[in-house]
Amino acid sequence: MAWFKKGKTEEAEPPKRSKVAEGMWLKCNHCREIVYRKEVDRNNKVCPKCDYHFPISVIERINLLVDLGTFKEWDAELEPQDPLQFQDTRTYKDRTKAQQEKTGRKDAMVIGQGAINGRKVALCVFDFGFMGGSMGSVVGEKICRAVDRALEGRMPLILVTASGGARMQEGILSLMQMAKTSAAVAKLGEAKVPFISILADPTFGGVTASIAMLGDVIIAEPKALIGFAGPRVIEQTIKQQLPDQFQRAEFLLDHGMIDMIVERKQLKEAVSTLVGHF
């Protein structure tokens, strides 16, 4: 479409969208439909079209799972160092500082104690907003400290994962957290203290390959992406098209990789029932 001005043809400019209008709508990560943001918020951040569970903040996750006012955070002051003096387009120190300012946290893991329907639990929640929830030395250390406190108080450990995997800026020190956290939760099994793993979208890489899949019961939210390498990487490697819905929670349930899929609004009651059973 064009319009004319003083004998000259000029391209018509598309109408500008207001920031308010843009903020009113979301595109679903699963069905790709445009959905009304307020409707999603009212529905516990769940897509009304396909039941996809949007990512939620750490605070929202804690409030969803534990009784109001019962959560007490542990070891919030732990923050990453830079032993490798890693630098790509920016230094690791600059990246972590920017993430700390953005999220208000020292790293990608929040641990603490709360109560679920009156029963005390130790809770670990990944913050995907902090460097993609990547697992570095601080994340591994905090999980291990939560395990120690769970053992001491004989409290079930609840872990909520949302992570892209190991933190590349910490190299082998990050990969070591896979073995470190796996060895820690093995002590829970020896002591007969329950460990429940909740997989949110997305859970990938070294987190999936270690602690996320070691729960006595493994729960996933509907349509969560869960895997080690991403589907595009796998397709390019094996030169084959992957099955429909590959790496979605429903696919993993059908193939015995997880134990159950629970909608967000029912998650607290499901975990409470499991804790009571154990």
DSSP assigned state of 6:
T
The answer to whether 47 is a known ligand-binding residue is yes
Half-sphere exposure of 42 (CA within 13 A, CB side): 6
End-to-end CA distance of the chain, in Å?
67
**CB-based contact 152:141 (threshold 8 Å):** no
Length of the chain: 278
In whole angstroms, give the CA distance from residue 185 to residue 193: 9
In whole angstroms, give the CA distance from residue 254 to residue 210: 21
Angle at which helices 137-153 and 171-190 pack, to 10 degrees?
10
The answer to whether 31 is a known ligand-binding residue is yes
Residue list for the binding site for Zn(2+)? 28, 31, 47, 50
Residue list for the binding site? 28, 31, 47, 50
